[in-house]
Amino acid sequence: MFVGLTLGVAVVFSVDIANQSAKRAFALSLDSITGRTTHQIVGGVSGIDEGIYTQLRTRLGVRQSAPVVEGTLTVQGPDGSESLQLLGIDIFSEPMFRSQLSSLQDVGEPGDATRESLALLEFGAVFTGNSTAARLGLSIGDTVKVKAGGATRAVKLANVIDTTHQAAFDSMVMTDIATAQWLLDMSGRLSRIDLITDNPAQLEEIKNTFSEVSIADASRRNNALVQMTGAFHTNLLAMSLLALLVGAFLIYNTVTLSVLQRRMLFGQLRVAGVDRQALASAIVIEVLAFTLLGLVAGLLAGYALGGVLLNLVTRTINDLYFTLEVRQLNVSVFNVLKITVMAVLAALVAVAVPAMEAANSPPVTLTQRSALESKTGRLLPWLATGGCALGVLGFLMLWLSASLLMAFCALFMIVIGYSLLIPGSLYWAARLTGKMSFSGAGVTGNYPMRSLSASLSRVAVAVTALAVAVSATAGVGIMIGSFRASVADWLDQTLQADFYVRDSESLDNALPQEFVDAVDSLAIVTGKRLSRMFDVDAGGTPARLLALELTGDMNRGLSLIGHHTSVDEQWTQWSAPDSLFISEPLAWQLALNAGEKLSITTENGVRDFHIAGVFTDYGAGRGLIIMPMATMHLHWQDRGLSSIGVSLNAGSVDDADRFRRLVKPWPQLLVRSDGDIRELSMRIFDQTFAITHILRLLTAGVAFVGILSALLALTLERRHEFAVLRALGLTPNEMRRVLLSQTAWMGLIAGLLALPLGILMSGILVAVINRRSFGWTMQYSVSTGVLWESVALAFIAALLAAIYPAWRIGRMLPTQALRQR
Amino acid sequence: MKRLIWALISIVLVSCGDSHVDNATAVVSLHSELGGDATGYERACAPRQFSFPQDHQAHPEFRNEWWYVTGNLSSRDAVKLGFHATFFRIATQPYEETISNSAWETSQFYMAHFAVTRQGDNQLYADERFARAAVGLAGAELKDGLADVWLEDWKFTQTVAGSRPQWHLQLDADNGAAIDLTLTARKPRVLQGVDGYSRKSADPCNASYYYAYTRLHAEGEISTANDAYSVSGSAWLDREWSSSALAENQVGWDWFALQFDDGREVMFYQLRETDGSASEFSSAVEINQKGERQVIPAPQLVIDRWWESDSGASYPVEGRLIRADSNEIIKFSPLIDNQELNLTVRYWEGAIELFNEAGTAIGHGYLELTGY
């Protein structure tokens, strides 16, 4: 009972705190990136003119403003190199903005923070997080090589920031704005100006004074980020809810069994004169005491497990969204309270029925199992009816509401509803199998099934837990499989060039013109895909803009969805001025469709663009906008290229080598073949879902323990029955076979029962939940492999669980068991 | 003569690595630090030829410099107010050696602060700001022959040139305090020390270049947090630049700028040494009604009352100056006690009222107390 409780609590608790810690780190990191900023003055690709900041300060008197120069650079230390975000600030404009400077305040006297942060003013001085410094093997005072935009320069690590409370700093380099402009080749330009203002008149004045820039609402930018990762957290939450459900089953199961196996004892106690109430309360108190013990152990185990899960969660966020370093588990009273309430409630519900029954039944029936079994039998129709009702309600909710939360509630209800049907199905399945004739196998042929249907009350909950756990693994497995297949297809379609060349630091950096010219003069290139990528504000939401130009035999490489016009027609529309394609997630986020208008802030002000089509995109993060290069040039000054894709004469190894040699003189450029990119993408995909694999295993583990404890209790309780069988002449091996065949049957039934639920669940995950949270449409495909795997998982879990009880049965001395009776 | 102040600012700006110094030890450690630190900067070692308007603007080859305005004003309904406003320039390197082509890269920084005091209040309305002398955020330059000193939208702008120049002083804080004054010179410029070369210790290069306008007519608006006043009165402008400062045994500074109702001014500073005595390089001058300057023997300072601020420092805010030449007794008492400026640099800078021995009001002035 103890182990069951501990495991149930541990799984739910660990998922919960890992999820929460990641969320909290995310909020902290948002805070240190954008701080208390309410608005941001942003420009085009190359940022904004630094003179705007001077004007703001000296002419408009906008005091709560801070200039920012940011970009990506590679920092090389003795112990490795890492790509980090560079944040260039003006220390004198910062005080009210970002919290990072205050982290220096943790040491020493008040005022030291100001003094220490002034070290940034020295040209070439940088700060970084203490853990980043440790990872790279750097100490304060070291000269550090950094690489940005193709040039390697030396800076000095002037101080480190304690990242205990500043998680975001772990992957950031902070420096003075002058040093940042130097490192990023951005002299004269700022990436943005942060503002704190709630004064619309002031914003209006800024807008009127500087027509060339736009003012973005920082909270909206943050919201977009929160939304992005929010979807991921919601999916995790779903996993933790499934774990909770399985955990609750497990607790229910263990508690029920611990009461059931002592029915005899309770009967004897009643005979001995213990009154009903005393007995009931004794049972409840005992169970609660055990629950609390299990709870404490479970919390401890969950905390340890949480650390492991947190790493996985963080890695997923890093892969999908942005660098986030979390080392601290964040546990609130609320987490503990939530899990305590869950455990105690599950235990109370579990104990209520047997305790009341034990207390209310006449003593003599207590000692007879048949009484209980017949009651269980009477309960089945009610369970089934309730289950059906819940399921119908769940589907109604899915159908009626478009919200993500409702979708989860519905999924949960369908799962519970289905699980209520399992005991009934089990009963009928047992009766059905029991009616079949296995007479050829002798007494061990018919006996196991028929005896099992007689002990339904013991095994139903365990089988249900196993079935739900397996269905969850099947459901998620099918979902991931469908997703993976969709992503692979999408990559095949998108990656049309043989090689892609980009700046190794950032897509914001333009390729050197000499390189572009060199590619132009290379005769072996049969087609090119020229692109420029940068961030824009689209209808109030930050998005990535990709300007595209295809030449030669380069294929388009986009999969357009929506069928109201032909694909060719959509491409024709796209080529017209002020037209574009948007990605499916962006369309979902902005509730826009082909044929509608999208406003984008360009260097010439806000412009409306015609949406010629919507394309499939599984890139996480910001929504993507694709427009022709010529259209981009109409609205932005930038003439650089972020990447070039080339196709070469098919299959020529020489040509590939020639192309690679061409890129060699520019060490800052990164060449990747389509194969490399495909492989990398799939690796990231698999990494992303690593956490779901772990959770599937955990869920299966919980179910395994459920089966094990159910079997242990069952064998303990049926000792007498087994002893009689032994006395009748069954050998220990035959006894084992009886037990193993019973559990194998249980596992098989659980596995089979899990399949419809698993398929149902994956259907909801693919068609509803992922669409509602990410805006991704996937092709739904069920691989028979996953189905077989699930049945096998249930079967093997049950068999494994039976090994120990079977071994015990074999060793049982019949005489002793009979004598105890 | 605000050497201690720049010293403290310098320590804030320059000695960033030394994180565990409180103000008192900062001052002490600074003295030892300063000896070698002036290397590379130009130094004031002998009298020089001043030329105007050029000398109204910054002298970046020196380590530090300030434009320091103090004044006593009264409103139309006779509310007495005091103000001081200062623009400091601090260099963190002796010469501008730029590595990058970023306009933000500089070794010249500006700090400005101001405070407004109102009779009857028990608080000071003050604010400060920092900016680098780059991308137009701060500076002190001649524009069309007029000196323009600014830090963002805080401005000390010369509006009239010549022997009776005029300035517009404009600063405001988020807490509502603001100064918006026109300052017109009523007397010619005074070169302090020897022709503007003001020596502070035995080392001839421990000195500054120093000139002042000791009586300016002030007219305009002053605001405290909630109230705005139309005011007029008189102000005082000190201009000083140097590269090296206090001697090792000097711990603090009492500085008086006194404006008498009969048209005279007295400037007196007393450097305090570690043993509590007054340094021999303390100095006093009197400027008569015609604007003629005369060195007078240092008066005797008798302290009558100390005031303890919330920050725990005690300041001698009330007392007497006894002139050695005429035996004239000048009693001074603060407009309000709490004129401690508790910003990046903490010191007491306050409006004072002057009385004769009989207790009759004879003028007003500003008193600066540092190193307490």
Closest CA to A558 of A503, A627, A640: A627
Phi/psi zone of residue A118: left (φ > 0), alpha (ψ -120 to 50 degrees), beta?
alpha
| B343's tokens | 């910003």
Of B15, B17, B100, the CB nearest to A181: B100
Q: How far is it, in rounded angstroms, from Cα A476 to Cα A758?
A: 8
- Running DSSP on this structure, what letter comes out for residue A504? S
> Which pLDDT tens digit goes with each residue over B55-85?
999 999 998 899 999 999 999 999 999 999 9
In a mutational test of the A interface, the residue from B15, B16, B157 whose CB has the highest number of chain A CBs within 10 Å is B16
Q: Which residue has the higher pLDDT, A686 or A316?
A: A686
Nearest to A187 among B100, B130, B152 (CB): B100
The mean pLDDT of A249-273, rounded to a whole number, is: 72
Percent of chain A topping pLDDT 90: 6
In this predicted structure, what is the pLDDT of residue B331? 96
For residue B226, what are its two tokens? 């909630």
Most confident residue range from A316-325, A359-368, A564-573, B115-124: B115-124
Query: Count of H helices and E strands in chain B?
Result: 2, 23
Instruction: Identify the pLDDT of residue A112.
Output: 47
| Planar angle of CA A620, A570, A645, nearest 5 degrees | 55
Mean pLDDT along residues A780-793:
83
Q: What is d(CA A563, CA A560) in angstroms, rounded to the nearest whole number?
A: 9
Q: Are A331 and A303 in contact (CB under 8 A)?
A: yes
Strand partners, A541: A538
pLDDT of amino acid A811: 76
The 10s digit of each residue's pLDDT in A603-650 is 777 889 999 988 888 765 568 899 999 999 988 888 888 888 888 876
Query: Testing the interface with B: which of A57, A126, A198, A199 to mutate, by most B Cβ within 10 A?
Result: A57
Contact assignment for B100 to A182 by CB distance below 8 Å: yes
Closest residue by Cα to residue A336 from A791, A10, A681: A10
The answer to whether residue A152 scores a pLDDT higher than 60 is yes
Task: Reply yes or no on whether the pLDDT at B9 is more than 50.
Answer: no
- Over 80: is that where the pLDDT of A118 sits? no
Q: How many residues does chain B have?
A: 372
Report the pLDDT value the prediction gives residue A517, as an integer from 0 to 100.
Answer: 87
pLDDT at A791: 87
Greater pLDDT, A671 or B85: B85
- Taking the Cβ of residue B9 and every Cβ of chain A, the question of whether any pair is shorter than 8 Å is answered with no
> Which residues lie closer than 8 Å to A517 by C-beta, 6 or more apart?
none
Say which residue, B325 or A322, is predicted with more confidence.
B325
Least-confidence region, from A140-149, A807-816, B353-362: A807-816
Q: Please name which of A357, A256, A348 lies closest in space to residue A710, comparing C-alpha atoms.
A: A256
Contact with chain A for residue B294, Cβ under 8 A: no
Contact list in A for residue B344 (CB cut-off 8 A) is 114
Average pLDDT in the A86-99 region? 72
State how far the Cα of B67 lies from the Cα of B58, in Å rounded to an integer.
10
Question: pLDDT at position B197, please?
Answer: 93
Helix H segments across A576-640? 584-590, 629-635
pLDDT at B247: 66
The answer to whether residue B367 neighbours chain A at the CB level (below 8 Å) is no
How confident is residue A37, by pLDDT bands cut at 50, 70 and 90? confident
Q: How far apart are CA A430 and CA B201, in angstroms?
A: 107
A63 to B152: CB separation less than 8 angstroms, yes or no: yes
Q: Does B10 touch chain A (CB under 8 A)?
A: no
Smallest CA–CA distance from A104 into chain B, residue: B19
Least confident stretch, B22-36, B117-131, B304-318: B22-36
User: Quick one: pLDDT band at residue A17, thresholds 50, 70, 90?
Assistant: confident
Report chain B residues whose CB lies below 8 A from the CB of A123.
Answer: 99-100, 105
Contact B363, B352 (CB under 8 A): no
> Is the bond preceding residue B53 a cis peptide, omega within 30 degrees?
yes
Closest residue, chain A, to B105 (C-alpha): A178
Residue ranges of the domains in chain A?
1-24+242-361, 44-212, 422-495+679-821, 505-667
Residue A8 phi/psi, 5-degree rounding, is -60, -50
Instruction: Give B-chain residues touching A124 at CB under 8 angstroms.
Output: 99
Residue A129 has pLDDT above 50, yes or no: yes
Contact assignment for B153 to A123 by CB distance below 8 Å: no
Rounded CA separation A57/A59 (Å): 6
Top-confidence residue, A224 or B205? B205
Considering only A409-423, A433-447, A570-584, which range has the smallest mean pLDDT?
A: A433-447
Distance from CA of B46 to the nearest CA of A (A): 32
- The pLDDT of residue A438 is 55
- Residue B292 falls in which region: left (phi positive, over 0), alpha (psi -120 to 50) or beta: beta
Question: What is the DSSP code string of B339-367?
Answer: -EEESSSEEEEEEEEEE-TT--EEEEEEE
pLDDT band, residue A154 (cuts 50/70/90):
very high
Chain B residues with CB-CB distance to A116 below 8 A: 16-17, 19
Q: Over pLDDT 70: what percentage of chain A?
A: 75
| Cβ within 8 Å of residue B54, ≥6 positions away | B142
Residue from B99, B104, B105, B111 whose CB has the most chain A CBs within 10 Å, to mutate:
B104
Per-residue pLDDT of A40-51, as tens digits, reads 888 766 788 999
Query: By the 8 A CB rule, do B84 and B127 touch?
Result: no
Quote the CA–CA distance of B318 and B339 in Å, as a whole number. Answer: 13
Whether pLDDT at A102 is above 70:
no
Give the phi and the psi of residue B69 in degrees, each rounded to 5: -115, 130
Helices (H), A40-92: 51-58
Token pair, residue A732, equals 């220990």
Mean pLDDT, all residues of chain A: 77
Output the average pLDDT for chain B. 86
Distances (CA, A) of B171 to B84, B113, B175, B180, B184: 11, 9, 12, 7, 17
Instruction: For chain A, say whether B150 makes contact (Cβ under 8 Å).
Output: yes
pLDDT at A100: 44
Domains and CATH numbers, chain B: 3-370 (2.40.370.10)
User: Which segment, A26-35, A165-174, A779-788, B23-32, is predicted with the most confidence on average?
Assistant: A779-788
pLDDT of residue B34: 35
Smallest CA–CA distance, residue A628 to chain B, in Å, is 34
Closest by CA position to A611, among listed A585, A582, A635, A634: A582
Per the listing, tokens 């005991």 go with: A423
Cβ A371 vs Cβ A358: under 8 Å: no
Per-residue confidence (pLDDT) for residue A32, from 0 to 100? 53
A contacts of B20 (beta carbons < 8 Å) = 108-109, 112
Q: Going by DSSP bridges, is the β-strand pair A623-628/B361-370 parallel, antiparallel, or unpaired?
A: unpaired
The distance of Cα A818 from the centroid of its chain, to the nearest Å, equals: 54
Residue A177 is nearest to which of B22, B104, B109, comparing CB atoms?
A: B104
Query: What are A187's two structure tokens?
Result: 């002299």
Rounded Cα–Cα distance for residues A717 and A711 (Å): 10
Q: Are A707 and A459 in contact (CB under 8 A)?
A: no
Partners of A121 on chain B (C-beta within 8 Å) are 13, 92, 109, 132
Report how far residue A488's alpha carbon sits from residue A470's, in angstroms, rounded to the nearest whole number. Answer: 26
Query: In this complex, do A54 and B136 lie within 8 Å of one another by their Cβ atoms?
Result: yes
**pLDDT tens-place string over residues A363-413:** 655 555 555 566 666 777 888 888 888 888 888 888 887 777 788 788 888
Interface test with A, best of B13, B15, B100, B141 (most A CBs within 10 A): B100
pLDDT at A603: 79
Best residue in A86, A121, A181 to probe B by mutation, most B CBs within 10 Å? Answer: A121
Residue of B135 and A451 predicted with greater confidence:
B135
pLDDT at position B11: 43
What are the tokens at B366?
Answer: 């500003």
- pLDDT of residue A67 exceeding 70, the answer is yes
Tell if the CB–CB gap between A121 and B19 is shorter than 8 Å: no
For the beta carbon of residue A803, count every other beta carbon within 10 angstroms: 15
- With 0-12 CB in 10 A as exposed, 13-18 as middle and 19+ as buried, what is A442? exposed
pLDDT at B96: 63
Indicate yes or no: CB of B101 within 8 angstroms of CB of A63.
Answer: no
Quick check: B19 and A108 CB within 8 A? yes
